[in-house]
């Protein structure tokens, strides 16, 4: 299913939000992101999709701002795995950090990266590059989520709350609120969900409208990133199969390539997002 409205198309007047080849100092980075998001929120006559994302952005910035009132910067962290949802969360977080006057150096953003059992090289590369671009201090854990968070809180005992990019249609996301303590038996911290009510199409509209660099797998039809053994291009984005090969007089064939997939941002149905995941 493709997007009926092309609001997500990049406005040629908008330069990329960040330059991976020439990262900005942290205060300048936060200021630039804040400026771009402020301009985005001020846009008028933009159509219903952009208006919806503008409203979601305001709500999310309010949630992050509330969290930064409750917790000091060393007490918060971001769950970051290079995926689209946590990327939007990260951009909003950096905007809010500037709003709160917390972007003075040396203030790298604390992050925890829980790797898939069999990670994609493209994801690993994107996490590494974006960590430098956004001045992230990332600790990586290649183990199940519960054990990874336990180890992370042991290694970073000051952390009391973690921003998570979970959305309502994700597994176990249905009943979450903006602020939820971890369940019994889990490491104890506050889970903060600023983008919980964003739709799949909202995420991609934000990313493409602000021209935010993202993991290359999304351009190959992947819509939800896990590991190499349980993640595939989304079948809902598969292009029609080419016609069969036909033999021509000289004994060769008019060889055609195998079916390919449309990019992730062309999907609009929340409930088709995980069709490329085995679980």
Side-chain-side CA neighbours of residue 183 (13 Å): 4
Give, as one character, the DSSP assignment of residue 87: H
Query: What is the per-residue pLDDT for 254?
Result: 52
Q: Exposed/middle/buried for 111, CB within 10 Å: 0-12, 13-18, 19+?
A: buried
* Residue 191 main-chain phi, psi, to 5 deg: -90, 130
Q: pLDDT of 1-29, one tens digit each?
A: 333 344 445 454 568 999 988 899 999 99
**Domain annotation covers residue 246:** no
Which of 73-82, 84-93, 98-107, 171-180 is least confident?
A: 98-107
Task: Tell me the CATH number at 148.
Answer: 3.40.50.620
Examine residue 96 and state whether it is found in any structural domain, yes or no.
yes
The verdict on residue 166 lying in a domain is yes
Q: E strands along the chain, which residues? A: 76-79, 109-114, 136-141, 161-163, 179-181, 190-192
Residue 105: band (very low, low, confident or very high) from pLDDT cuts 50, 70, 90: low
Residue numbers of the domain that contains 49: 27-201
Q: Where are the beta strands (DSSP E) in 19-171?
A: 76-79, 109-114, 136-141, 161-163
Is residue 272 assigned to a domain?
Answer: no
Q: Provide the domain count of the chain.
A: 1
Work out the average pLDDT over 178-194: 97
Find the largest Cα–Cα distance for the chain: 76
Give percent of the chain with pLDDT exceeding 70. 87
Is there a domain that residue 152 lies in? yes
221 has a pLDDT exceeding 80: yes
- Decide if 11 is inside a domain: no
Question: Does a structural domain hold residue 278?
Answer: no
Across the beta sheet with 136-141, the strand order is 136-141, 109-114, 76-79, 161-163, 190-192, 179-181
pLDDT (0 to 100) of residue 79: 98
Residue 254 near residue 246, CB atoms below 8 Å: yes
pLDDT band at residue 258 under the 50/70/90 scheme: low
Q: Can you give the pLDDT at residue 172?
A: 85
Within-domain flag for 4? no
At residue 235 the predicted structure's pLDDT band, cuts being 50, 70 and 90, is: very high
Q: Check residue 12 and give its pLDDT.
A: 44
What would the pLDDT profile of 139-170 be if each residue is shown by its tens digit?
999 999 999 999 999 999 999 999 999 999 89
User: What is this structure's pTM?
Assistant: 0.89
Report the pLDDT value the prediction gives residue 108, as an integer from 0 to 100.
Answer: 77
Angle between helix axes 84-99 and 26-42 (nearest 10 degrees) is 100
């Amino acid at each position: 299913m493709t997007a009926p409205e092309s609001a997500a198309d990049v406005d040629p007047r908008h330069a990329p939000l960040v330059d991976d080849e020439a990262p900005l100092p942290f205060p300048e980075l936060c200021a630039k992101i804040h400026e771009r998001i402020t301009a985005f929120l001020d846009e008028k006559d933009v159509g219903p999709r952009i208006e919806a994302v503008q409203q979601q952005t305001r709500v999310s910035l309010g949630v992050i701002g509330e969290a930064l009132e409750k917790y000091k910067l060393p007490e918060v962290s971001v769950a970051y795995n290079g995926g689209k949802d946590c990327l939007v969360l990260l951009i909003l977080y950096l905007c809010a950090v500037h709003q709160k006057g917390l972007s003075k150096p040396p203030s790298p953003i604390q992050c925890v990266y829980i790797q898939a059992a069999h990670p994609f090289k493209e994801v690993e590369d994107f996490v590494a590059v974006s960590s430098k671009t956004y001045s992230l201090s990332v600790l990586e854990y290649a183990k199940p989520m519960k054990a990874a968070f336990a180890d992370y809180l042991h290694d970073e005992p000051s952390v009391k709350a973690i921003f998570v990019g979970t959305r309502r249609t994700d597994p176990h996301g249905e009943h979450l609120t903006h602020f939820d303590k971890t369940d019994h038996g889990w490491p104890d911290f506050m889970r903060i969900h600023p983008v919980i009510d964003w739709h799949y199409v909202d995420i991609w509209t934000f990313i493409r409208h602000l021209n935010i660099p993202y993991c290359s797998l999304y351009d190959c039809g992947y819509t939800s990133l896990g590991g190499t053994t349980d993640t595939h291009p989304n079948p809902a984005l598969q292009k029609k199969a080419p016609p069969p090969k036909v033999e021509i007089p000289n004994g060769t064939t008019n060889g055609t390539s195998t079916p390919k997939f449309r990019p992730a941002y062309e999907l609009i149905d929340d409930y088709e997002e995980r069709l490329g995941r085995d679980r």
